[in-house]
Amino acid sequence: MSKLVIYSHGKDSIPWGEKPSALAEVTKRLGFEFISPDYQASNDPDWRVQQLLAQNVSGYETLVLVGSSMGAYVSTVAAEIIKPKGLFLIAPAFYLPGYARTEFQPTTANIEVFHGWRDDVVPPENAWRFCREHRARLHMLDADHRLLSILPMMVTAFERFLGDCAA
C-alpha cells in the first residue's frame, strides 16, 4: 500500500526547515513517503494551491496533507479536490486579509490543528473558529506562531495522527 504525506510550508518558510524535517522522520518510520514542495517563487496563497494540485498523487492509497501557516490554508483548500485521509494543520492562516477563501469544505473529518496562544501573525480565534465549524481537534498551546517550542509534542501527536490515517 503506497502512502504519501505532502507538507506545505508557510509564506516566509522553506520546504525543509525544522518542522518538515521533524515530521518527515515520523513519516518514514511509519512507511509513508514525504514530499515538501518549494513554494518560494510566490507568496500568493492561491498560486500555491494550484502548485499543490499539480502534484501527481495518483497511485497513492493513503494521502495526508500537512501545512504550516499559509501552507495550512493551501492544504485545506486543496483538500476539497485531493480528498486526503487527513489534514494536519499548524498555525493555519485562515480568515486573513488577502486570502481569497474564507469558507472551507475539507473532504475529511480527520483534522488536527496546532496553534499558539501567543501567535501574533494569525489570531488564535481564527483557529478556534475553523475547528468549531469543522469539529476538528484543536491543540491551543503556550507558543508563538512558529510553534517550535512545542515541536516535540507536535511530533508525538503527528505520529498518532498518521497511524490513525494509515489504519
Tens-place pLDDT, residues 132-165: 999 999 999 999 999 999 999 999 999 999 999 9
Tens-place pLDDT, residues 52-87: 999 999 999 999 999 999 999 999 999 999 999 999
Strand bridging mode 33-35 / 62-68: unpaired
CA distance 152 to 103: 31
End-to-end CA separation in angstroms for the chain: 11
Residue 113 cell numbers, joined: 490543528
Q: Under a CB-based contact definition with an 8 Å cutoff, are residues 86 and 109 in contact?
A: no
Beta bridge partners of 7: 66
